[in-house]
Amino acid sequence: MGTWDVTTPVIEAKDLDLTFQTNDGPVHALKGVDLGIEKGDFVSFIGPSGCGKTTFLRVIAGLEHATGGTVTVNGMTPDEARRNRAYGYVFQAAGLYPWRTIAGNIRLPLEIMGIPKSEHADRVRRVLELVDLAGFEKKFPWQLSGGMQQRASIARALAFDADILLMDEPFGALDEIVRDHLNEQLLELWASTQKTIAFVTHSIPEAVYLSTKIVVMSPRPGRITDVIESPLPKERPLDIRDTPEFLEVAHRVREGLREGHSYD
Ligand SMILES: Nc1ncnc2c1ncn2[C@@H]1O[C@H](COP(=O)(O)OP(=O)(O)OP(=O)(O)O)[C@@H](O)[C@H]1O
């Protein structure tokens, strides 16, 4: 071992390519994507609709397969990582089962994974605390607001305590005030759990507020046009969004999006 600390990326993509074969011919979704995500990073993916953000997240999750290049997750193939429950996944819609209580929904992945029943109640309580929903165990999803449902779905993704959290536009459907609040809470959760988060968003302020690293993508075939290491401190009150540093990063993201765009 050397005296310096060489960190191996938790998620690493090398020259990743993905072409879907469809009835209308091939759809080239991702092209030559190179990216390293380090432990504890909060990485946002931003880009126009259809540029392959969700596809990239699904490749990391082993739900789609690259047609070229490689991806590793914790040094494993995405399929191995999925079988090892390396990540929790939060979808655009909360996707809670309406016939199960909040606790019942959170227990589901624990049941599937065969975690001993005696541990369930404790885990449910702990993750509900993390998302500020303590005491909501017995409620049904329809008794919660949209923002609370999304928090419950984050709790479900946290239930088996994976080091990696993959989040696909989790707050896209919420109004701005609720979204602000959840952004603040997510940063607190990230700081207290030290998870590695990969987060898809359409919102420049959201990406800049949350991330240590912002990955700007171009329209199809999805390529990375810029990777911005955030100069902002880890502690981020919401009003950091009015500071020159914040606005500068937001400007660079906007420029990156504009450059990747062809206006035809
Ligand atoms: N299973 C599939 N079969 C064929 N084409 C697909 C499939 N999944 C995605 N695509 C295509 O690949 C491209 C990238 O889609 P993807 O959903 O990853 O984009 P996105 O950036 O997440 O978009 P949005 O921001 O609208 O969610 C799109 O053109 C989409 O139509």
Amino acid at residue number 5 = D
Contacts of residue 69, defined as CB under 8 A and 6 or more positions apart, other chains included, come to 13, 14, 15, 16, 17, 32, 33
Atom 23 (ligand 1): residue with closest C-alpha? 50
Place 173 in a pLDDT band, splitting at 50, 70 and 90: confident
Separation between Cα atoms, residue 3 and residue 8, nearest integer Å: 15
What per-residue confidence (pLDDT) applies to 2?
40
Query: Is there an atom of ligand 1 within 6 Å of 46 CB?
Result: no
Candidate from 64-73, 79-88, 248-257 with smallest mean pLDDT:
79-88
Query: Is there an atom of ligand 1 within 6 Å of 54 CB?
Result: yes
Comma-separated ranges of CATH 3.40.50.300 domains in the chain: 38-65+74-86+163-264
Of the candidates 35, 37, 77, 39, which has an alpha carbon nearest to the alpha carbon of residue 52? 35
Average pLDDT over residues 95-114: 91
* Atom nearest to 222 CA in ligand 1: 14
- How far away, in angstroms, is 49 Cα from ligand 1 center? 8
Instruction: Reply yes or no on whether the pLDDT at 199 is more than 70.
Output: yes
The DSSP string of 68-128 is EEEEEETTB-HHHHHHTT-EEEE-SS----TTS-HHHHHHHHHHHHT--HHHHHHHHHHHH
Q: What is the pTM of this model?
A: 0.90
Helices and strands (DSSP H and E) totals, the chain: 8, 9
Place 114 in a pLDDT band, splitting at 50, 70 and 90: confident
CATH superfamily, domain at 38-65+74-86+163-264: P-loop containing nucleotide triphosphate hydrolases (3.40.50.300)
Helix residue spans in 139-175 (DSSP H) = 146-158
Tell me the pLDDT of the chain averaged across its residues: 90
Query: What percent of the chain is predicted at pLDDT more than 90?
Result: 66
Atom 8 (ligand 1): residue with closest C-alpha? 55
Note the Cα 59 to chain centre separation in Å. 13
What per-residue confidence (pLDDT) applies to 23?
92
Average pLDDT over residues 220-245: 92
Query: Is there an atom of ligand 1 within 6 Å of 55 CB?
Result: yes
Structural contact between residues 10 and 219, judged by C-beta atoms closer than 8 angstroms: no
Contacts of residue 24, defined as CB under 8 A and 6 or more positions apart, other chains included, come to none
- DSSP bridge partners of 227: 215
Contacts of residue 23, defined as CB under 8 A and 6 or more positions apart, other chains included, come to none
Instruction: Reply yes or no on whether the pLDDT at 6 is more than 60.
Output: no
What per-residue confidence (pLDDT) applies to 233?
93
What per-residue confidence (pLDDT) applies to 220?
78
Pairing of strands 213-217, 224-229: antiparallel
pLDDT in tens, 25-80: 999 999 999 999 999 999 999 998 889 999 999 999 999 999 999 999 999 999 99
Q: Tell me how many degrees the CA angle 39-45-47 measures, rounded to the nearest 5.
A: 165
- How far away, in angstroms, is 157 Cα from ligand 1 center? 23
What per-residue confidence (pLDDT) applies to 1?
41
What per-residue confidence (pLDDT) applies to 4?
47
Supply the ipTM of this predicted assembly. Answer: 0.95
What per-residue confidence (pLDDT) applies to 166?
95
Q: Which residues of 184-202 are buried (b: 16+ CB within 10 A; e: fewer)?
A: ebbbebbeeeebbbbbbbe
Instruction: Reply yes or no on whether the pLDDT at 130 is more than 50.
Output: yes
Pick the more confident residue, 175 or 204. Answer: 204
Atom 18 (ligand 1): residue with closest C-alpha? 52
Atom 14 (ligand 1): residue with closest C-alpha? 52
